[in-house]
Every structure is written in C-alpha cells, then in structure tokens.
Structure 1
Amino acid sequence: MSGSTEQLSRKISGAKDLGGVVRAMKALAASSVGQYEKAVNALDDYLHTVELGLIACLHRASKGFPAIDIKPQHADKIGAVIFGSDQGLVGSFNEVIVEFSQKSLRALAGRVTQIWVVGDRAKALLAETGGIPVRGLEVPASLDAITPLVGQILLELEAAREKGEIWEVHVFHNHPKPSSAYEPVGRWLLPLDAAWEQKLHATPWPTKTPPQVIDGVSSAFPILIRDYLFVLLFQACAESLASENASRLASMSRAEKSIDSMLDDLNRKYHRLRQESIDEELFDVIAGFEALTRKKPKPSSDTSLAKTSH
C-alpha cells in the first residue's frame, strides 16, 4: 500500500510541475498574441499611407506608372513565400498552411520553381513532397526580428527574379480570427501589373486638393514600391505569428484542463489509498488491543471439586 501511495505522490508532483510549465507558456502566448495583433493593426494604417503615396504618384504621372506589366520569357515560373512555425504545441498550424499553399499553387497556370518557407516544421512538411527547391528561414522571435527577415526575403526574391528563376510571387500565411482561431490565406505579391495599377487608379483621392510629389514621381515611386512590398510581407509575418501564438494559447488551455483533471483523479486515488491504509492500521491496533484485554476463561466447577478431593 505504501508503495502505491508513494508512486501516486510522485505522479502528483510531476503533474504539478508540468502544470506550472503549461501555465507559463500559456501566459507567454497570451502576451505575444496581443503584441502581434497590435502590430498588425498599426500596419493597416501604414499600408494605407503607402497606398495613398502610390495614388499620388499615379495622379501626377501623365502616362501612369513605369512599364510594370511587361512579361518576360520566364513569366510562367512561380515562387512562393510560406510562413509556418519553428516550435511545436500549435496543433495543426503548419499542416493547415502547407496543405492550403500546395492546393493553391497547383491551381495556378505556371509551374512552381522555388519556395521560401519560414519555420522548420513547415519546411519539413514541404520537403516530404520533394521536387521543388525549398529555402528555409528562421521564425523571428520578436517584433524587432521581423524587419531583418522581411528585408532578407525581399533581397532574395529580387535576386531570383533578376536571374529569371521566378516571375510571379505568392505569399501564404495563417490569418488570426476571433476566439483564438485562424484561417489560411494567400496573396499575390509580384508582379505589380496593370490590374494592380487600375485598382489604385480607381481609388479616389481623399481630399479636393490635388496631391504633390516632392522630387517627382521617378524618385518617389521606387521607394514607395519597396515600402509597399515590405509592409505586405511584414503584415503576413506578424499575422502568422499572432495565429501561431493563438493556436499555442488554445493548445495550452486544453493541456491545462487535462492536467487539472488528471490531478483531481490522482488526488482522489491518493486520498482513497491513504484512507484505506489508515483504516487498516486502525483495525490492526483495535485487534491487538482486543487481544491484550480479552479476559481468561474461569475454571469449571468439576475441576474445582476434583482439586478439593485430592
């Protein structure tokens, strides 16, 4: 019995330690979700500002933007940027985005020639399919680390397009939803073609005063384009991180409930065994006491007479 209670005591202690780790990870995930969601909201305003700058350039340019819709001979080559996770405990986070991206890429007219994937776990899932070169990148550990990652991706995309390795570029990531949920989304990143220009052209200028572009459209346009692409990738990364931490928060909440339920069960078993052990000890004490205090039987009358006659 003592061995059973000792084993249960060790299990209870281990479950409490595990519960402490889960609660710490839950608190960290909850804090991270809020941080990345605030960044996403701030990026919406910044993206709108950049788009207004592009609209101003379009209004000032007599012949529209430079020729950005001319297709080269390698226009059928497609590149993709996929945001996943490095760490686990996120449920089916990586499986969802990898499956969604593969399905979306198969539906495109061209052929996928190169993939940039952020996160070792998503990279491992993509590597199992084979046939397409996969460039792995580390998931940023903080908001400050997103900027150099996005800068690196833009440089590599630009180099690959100059070499003729890709032309179209699509971005895939998980988008956060209310109640710690997420959904996979995809977006056309490059090229910025005539359809994109027409969309901007259809957007009215918010004031009656015509916009002015300092130093002219030719100098402002390339800078605004870089900012536009940067914001789109930064936003995709921040939304992916918010979704990842939301998924981890949900997983930790489920784990916490399971651990609490297991602790309740273990504590009930422990107290039952302890009570049974105490009852057995009490029975032994009572039985010993009764054995010590039990009166000896009196001698019979025949035996007394026999002794007297002698």
Structure 2
Amino acid sequence: MASLKEVRSRIQSVSSTQQITKAMKMVAAAKLRRAQDNIIRMRPYAQRLNTILANLTRTTDNDIVSEYGVAREVRRVLIIAVTSDRGLAGAFNSNVFKGVNAAIAERYANLPATSISILAIGKKAHDYYTRKGGVVGNFTHVFAKLSFETVREAAELAMDSFRNGQYDEVVMVYNEFRNVATQIIRTEQLLPLVKTEAPVTASATANVDYVFEPSKEEIIQTLIPQSLKIQLYKAVLESNASEHGARMTAMDKATDNAGELLKSLKLTYNRTRQAAITTEILEIVGGAEALAAG
C-alpha cells in the first residue's frame, strides 16, 4: 500500500492537472466561438460561388474547357491533409491520418507509394508525413495567423502542380465541423473539377437573356481559380473550428476523469490514514498490556 506522503503527492499532482485542463477547456471554448463564426460566415459565400459557377457553366452552349477540369489517367496524386499545429485534441489529428490511409486504400490502391505526395497543412501533419517521406511544401505557419492569404499559397501550389501535369488528381482530407462534440472526416476531390448541377429553381428555369461583361468565358475562367482557393480555405476553416471543438471536448473529459481520480485518491488517502492510526493504537495498547503484564 502506498504511503500517505505518496498519496498526498499524487493528489496534488492530479489537482494541478485538473486546473490546467479546466483552463485549456476555457481557452478552447473562446477560440471555438471565433472559429465557428468564421466558418458560418464562409459557408454561404462558398456555396453561392459554386452555384454561380454551376449556373454559368450550365447555360453555356458549348462546354468551356478549363485547364483545371482536364481529366487525365491518374498516375500521380497529391493529397492535402489538414491537421492542427498542437495536440491534446483527442483523435482529431489521428482521424485525418486514418482518412488519408483510407483514401489511398480505396482510390489509389493500384498506385505505388512513390506516386502519392502529401501537402500537409498544420504542424502535426507535416511532422507525421515528413517521417514517412513525400511531403510537398511547408505550410506549418498557416494556423499561426489564419487568413485567406496564407491558405492561398497552398491552393496555388496545388493548382500549379495540377496545371503543369505534375499531378493528375488533387484530394483534400479534413475534419468538417458539425458541433462541439462531432467532427466528420471529409475526403473531397479538388482537382480536376467535378461537375455539379445547379439547383433547379424558378429563376434558373426562366428564359432570361443575360448580358455578360466581360464575356462568359472570361468570367468562368476567373471564377474557377477563385472557387478552388475558396474551397481549400473553407476546408481549413472547418478544420480550425473542429480542432477547438475537439480540444474543448477532450479537456472536458480530462477534467472529469481527473475529478474521478481525485475521489479515488482521497478515499485511498483516508483509508491509509485510518489504517495507520489503527496500527498506532494497536501498538500503544499492546505496549501498555506488555508493561502491565511485566
């Protein structure tokens, strides 16, 4: 049985840990609020941009061939893995790694490992895949000051690599934010462009003569790169909100577990102290009886 000093030391250690997890939970909650507001504002913009692009493409007499929409035989693949810079977020980062492995197994099982490269956004992904090899670029700075400009660098690298034929397909793997306790792993094809049908509405079906300035082709060619960058930026914002939600949940559970452990340790401490007192009393009584008998 552990001594009273050892149990007291463990109680102090667990209490200190509980205070830290409580503080981390509060910090994560504050950051989550801002991150959640950002992704809520971004979602309608990204959806509307995709709808405009789909409407323009659907009303075009002849398909406008974009350099980002050319489908080629898949021989080399770039996977964009979006993780966090820090840990202590439960299975947040490991789920991304599992999602990447699942994508490779399901979509690219026939390709050699050397044909698959990783564009890691976030320090955890960069460190993990650097050990394995095949990392493209260094984007560990993205979450230090998260903005569209920092994410655009990663998007342009992926777009340029696809356009010049270095990669035949680009896929994103990230955590989609649902709520504080729920994050869903998403695997989405970024390039080549996947044709989407615009929602059929009364305004969409109406026979309207649109006037385009500049030409429809120029508008589409401008919107496509912007849409691709927005897609990646949205994925990073989703991941950022998911990270804080996952960390908040993990720290909440850690705080509860520390509380349960403290109850157990205090019970052990009281039992150990009672046992020590009982032993001392027995020794005193035994000594007194021995003196009386002598």
Q: Same fold (TM over 0.5)?
A: yes
Equivalent position of 1:141 in the other structure: 143
Given that 1:169 and 1:188 are in contact with CA atoms closer than 8 Å, whether structure 2 keeps it comes out as yes
1:268–1:59 distance in 2 versus 1, CA, 3 Å: closer
CA shift at 1:240, angstroms? 1.6
Given that 2:8 and 2:269 are in contact with CA atoms closer than 8 Å, whether structure 1 keeps it comes out as yes
CA shift at 1:104, angstroms? 1.6
Match of 1:199 among 182, 197, 200: 197
Given that 2:126 and 2:135 are in contact with CA atoms closer than 8 Å, whether structure 1 keeps it comes out as no
1:268–1:155 distance in 2 versus 1, CA, 3 Å: same
Equivalent position of 1:103 in the other structure: 102
Secondary structure, counterpart of 2:89 in structure 1: coil
CA shift at 1:95, angstroms? 2.5
Equivalent position of 1:246 in the other structure: 245
Paired with 2:158 and 2:26, the residues of 1 have a C-alpha distance of 36
Paired with 1:271 and 1:156, the residues of 2 have a C-alpha distance of 62
Paired with 1:167 and 1:52, the residues of 2 have a C-alpha distance of 25
Paired with 2:66 and 2:227, the residues of 1 have a C-alpha distance of 17
Given that 2:120 and 2:137 are in contact with CA atoms closer than 8 Å, whether structure 1 keeps it comes out as yes
Paired with 2:159 and 2:179, the residues of 1 have a C-alpha distance of 35
* Deviates further, 160-169 or 13-22: 160-169
Paired with 1:108 and 1:285, the residues of 2 have a C-alpha distance of 77
Secondary structure, counterpart of 2:104 in structure 1: helix
Given that 2:64 and 2:217 are in contact with CA atoms closer than 8 Å, whether structure 1 keeps it comes out as no
* Deviates further, 217-226 or 60-69: 60-69
Gaps of 5+ in 2: none
Paired with 2:274 and 2:212, the residues of 1 have a C-alpha distance of 84
Aligned positions, number = 285
1:211–1:20 distance in 2 versus 1, CA, 3 Å: farther
**Aligned pair 1:42/2:41, yes or no?**
yes
Paired with 2:191 and 2:152, the residues of 1 have a C-alpha distance of 16
Paired with 2:202 and 2:50, the residues of 1 have a C-alpha distance of 11
Paired with 1:103 and 1:276, the residues of 2 have a C-alpha distance of 55
Q: Map Cα deviations across residues 208-265 of structure 1 (whole Å, 9 max, x no partner).
A: 5555444332443233223211221112112222222222222212211221112112
Paired with 2:200 and 2:161, the residues of 1 have a C-alpha distance of 32
Paired with 2:277 and 2:70, the residues of 1 have a C-alpha distance of 87
CA shift at 1:70, angstroms? 4.0
Given that 2:171 and 2:187 are in contact with CA atoms closer than 8 Å, whether structure 1 keeps it comes out as yes
* Deviates further, 202-211 or 253-262: 202-211
Paired with 1:76 and 1:24, the residues of 2 have a C-alpha distance of 48
**Two-structure CA RMSD over aligned residues (Å):** 3.7
Task: Report the residue type matching 1:224 in the other structure.
Answer: L
Paired with 2:37 and 2:97, the residues of 1 have a C-alpha distance of 26
Given that 1:8 and 1:266 are in contact with CA atoms closer than 8 Å, whether structure 2 keeps it comes out as yes
**Aligned pair 1:81/2:80, yes or no?**
yes
Compute the TM-score of the two structures, normalised by the length of structure 1. Answer: 0.74
* Deviates further, 213-222 or 277-286: 277-286
* Deviates further, 79-88 or 35-44: 35-44
Paired with 1:70 and 1:262, the residues of 2 have a C-alpha distance of 58
1:71–1:281 distance in 2 versus 1, CA, 3 Å: closer
CA shift at 1:205, angstroms? 6.8
**Aligned pair 1:115/2:118, yes or no?**
yes
CA shift at 1:96, angstroms? 2.2
Max Rg structure = 1
CA shift at 1:175, angstroms? 2.0
Gaps of 5+ in 1: 295-310
Given that 2:24 and 2:251 are in contact with CA atoms closer than 8 Å, whether structure 1 keeps it comes out as yes
Alignment of 1:125-136 (within 5 A): 125-127=128-130, 129-130=132-133, 132-136=134-138
Alignment of 1:161-176 (within 5 A): 161-176=162-177
CA shift at 1:20, angstroms? 0.9
